[in-house]
Amino acid sequence: MLCSALSSIPIQFRPVLDPDFQPMILAYQSFRKTVDDSGCAIPFSIAVERENQQIATFDLAVFSPESEHFVDNLVIIERLVKAMLWLRGGWKIILSGCAPLGEQIAERYNETGERSFDWYFMKRVYGKSLLVENRADYADRPLEKQTATPAGRNLNGHRIGIDLGGSDYKFSAVSNGEAVFSEEITWHPKLQTDPAYHAECIRHALQTAASHLPQVEAIGISAAGIYVDNEVKVASLFIKIPENVFDEKVKHLFYELIHEFGENIPFEIRNDGDVAALAGAMSLNTNRVLGIAMGTSQAAGYVNADGNITGWLNELAFAPFDLNPDAMQDEWSGDRGCGVKYFSQDSVIKLCPAAGIPLNEIDSPAEKLKVVQSLMAKDDQRARKIYQTIGIYLGYALPYYAMFYDIDEVLLLGRVTSGLGGQIILDQANEVLLNEFPETARQINVRLPDEKSRRVGQSIAAASLPEIG
């Protein structure tokens, strides 16, 4: 339920196919103003800690416990905590400045609470039970502590780059920065219960690319999921693999496949969102790039001001940005209003009934997306409304994302943005930014990949990840 400060927020662009859309950015702005004007504001800090004692923080003012509006804090703070957790990643949440509010959050983020999915997910990633530490005094809040590592741009030598998506995998043989061979193959990794299927497809990519090179000196891989030190932690590509099989045959799968080519070949695997952002930074010759890939899910990656990858989770798919309590529920996490249902092929599919587009239920999500894309190619007005709606979503999401990222460029990628639909999404998002968030519009340039970006490509950017000794 929305709090009193958020119950009637004006919105300039109300999507015709989703009239109950309630963007988090407008709710946050309204909450912040109401708190500031109340005379009952106290400072509050949200921090998340991940590996190597790295800490990300977000500070704001909230209603004090003495305020009659104290109960209104929970809606905004809980959503911000979840955003911080999924964008930055962490095994500990540290809340400082208001013990009663911290206690309410702790009740949700535990093994049996409302956010048990988040608890179990972070435990799987970091190998530790997710903790919520509550500090009554704001002065005791932890300070920001972040490091980042140089990413890619290594184009010397003979390399293989592989981009493992949810619907297809692409691979390139790269010699001194130029692709001498590239191929794209459809696959169905999310339906497979035996990782031998994944291994065989990846092995085929490696062998085929290698056949076009005099030797293989480095291998870089872009893949949906979370990878730490080239080990698979969590990945939707292996979603049907039983946990005991995952631990035995998937965690070190890439080590085993690369070693078939030689134990001394340097290799690196990164989240596909980070590699998408790297590809954009390389093609544009710039930094502060947020890449958003709208495909089977919503993937994201970020290259900071120094041209480095941060190691953050960047899981925008699970970051909430719609406060509509009746928003579509994500089947995996059980939460509502998160990016996966707004910036992926799921978004296109969920909007089809409201647009009046019938779909065959036996078709796969990728096939359903193709139906809408073929209609859009014919300038079907029903399909146009779907892409306009996603563009409105994006227009309200970007200023919210800019609260967490220092961004100059946003690069839109993925199957959903291909063809005429992608241009409609871009145009509609820019219209929202120009009219509702002019300051953000001046700061951020949103673009689809140009021809130079397409030539670099994600698989080629992946190839540039490892250094050659």
**pLDDT above 70 for 296:** yes
Nearest to 12 by CA among 21, 4, 328: 21
Same domain? For 162 and 255 the reply is yes
Q: State whether 136 and 243 are in the same domain.
A: no
- Within a domain: residue 94? yes
Q: How far apart are CA 70 and CA 39, in angstroms?
A: 12
The predicted pLDDT at position 455 comes to: 45
Angle between helix 365-377 and 381-401 (nearest 10): 110
Q: 451: pLDDT confidence band, cut at 50, 70 and 90?
A: low
Q: Would residue 464 count as lying in a domain? A: no
The answer as to whether 331 is a domain residue is yes
In this prediction, residues 197-220 reach a mean pLDDT of: 95
Cβ neighbours around 306 below 10 Å, total: 12
Same domain, 181 and 259: yes
* Tokens of residue 229, six digits: 């030190």
Residue 284, pLDDT above cutoff 90: no
Q: How confident is the model at residue 61 (pLDDT cuts 50, 70, 90)?
A: very high
Q: Is residue 341 part of a domain?
A: yes
Residue 6's pLDDT is what?
56
Residue-wise pLDDT for 92-135, tens only, equals 999 999 999 999 999 999 999 999 999 999 998 888 999 999 99
Does this model's pTM top 0.75? yes
- Specify if 467 maps to a domain: no
Q: Are 274 and 151 in contact (CB under 8 A)?
A: yes
Residue among 257, 272, 264 at smallest CA distance from 202:
257
Last residue of a domain, one of 250, 270, 290: 270
Q: Which range has highest mean pLDDT (135-144, 168-177, 178-187)? A: 135-144
User: Of 140, 157, 185, which marks where a domain is finished?
Assistant: 140
Is there a single domain that holds both residue 154 and residue 118? Answer: no
Q: Is residue 217 included in any domain, yes or no?
A: yes
Residues 6+ apart with CB under 8 A from 94: 45, 46, 47, 48, 49, 55, 132, 133, 135, 141, 142
Same domain, 294 and 264: no
pLDDT at 273: 82
CATH of the domain at 182: 3.30.420.40
Whether the CB-CB separation of 6 and 325 falls below 8 Å is answered with no
Q: Number of structural domains, the chain?
A: 3
Order across the sheet with 41-49: list the strands: 55-63, 41-49, 92-96, 131-135
Q: What is the pLDDT at residue 261?
A: 78
- Co-location of 54 and 180 in the same domain: no
Q: Is the pLDDT of residue 414 over 90?
A: no
Helices marked H in 249-344:
253-259, 272-284
In the predicted structure, residue 2 carries a pLDDT above the cut 50: no
**Mean of per-residue pLDDT scores for the chain:** 91
Greatest alpha-carbon span in the chain: 73
Q: Are residues 128 and 179 in the same domain?
A: no
Sheet containing 168-175, strands listed edge to edge, beginning at the edge strand earlier in sequence: 178-186, 168-175, 158-164, 218-223, 267-271
Residue 391 lies in a domain: yes
- Answer yes or no: is pLDDT of 211 > 70: yes
More confident residue, 2 or 457: 457
Residues 43 and 19 in one domain: yes
Check pLDDT > 60 for residue 5.
Answer: no
Q: What is the arithmetic mean of pLDDT over 244-258?
A: 91
Same domain, 296 and 215: no
Domain that holds residue 409: 275-456
Q: Tell me the C-alpha distance between 413 and 343, whole Å.
A: 11
CA distance 307 to 302: 9
Residues 153 and 134 in one domain: no
Last residue of a domain, one of 140, 174, 203: 140
Residue 232 lies in a domain: yes
222 or 44: which leads in pLDDT: 44
Same domain, 219 and 136: no
Cα–chain center distance at 64: 33
Considering the domain architecture, whether residues 426 and 451 belong to the same structural domain is answered as: yes
Residue 29 has pLDDT above 90, yes or no: yes
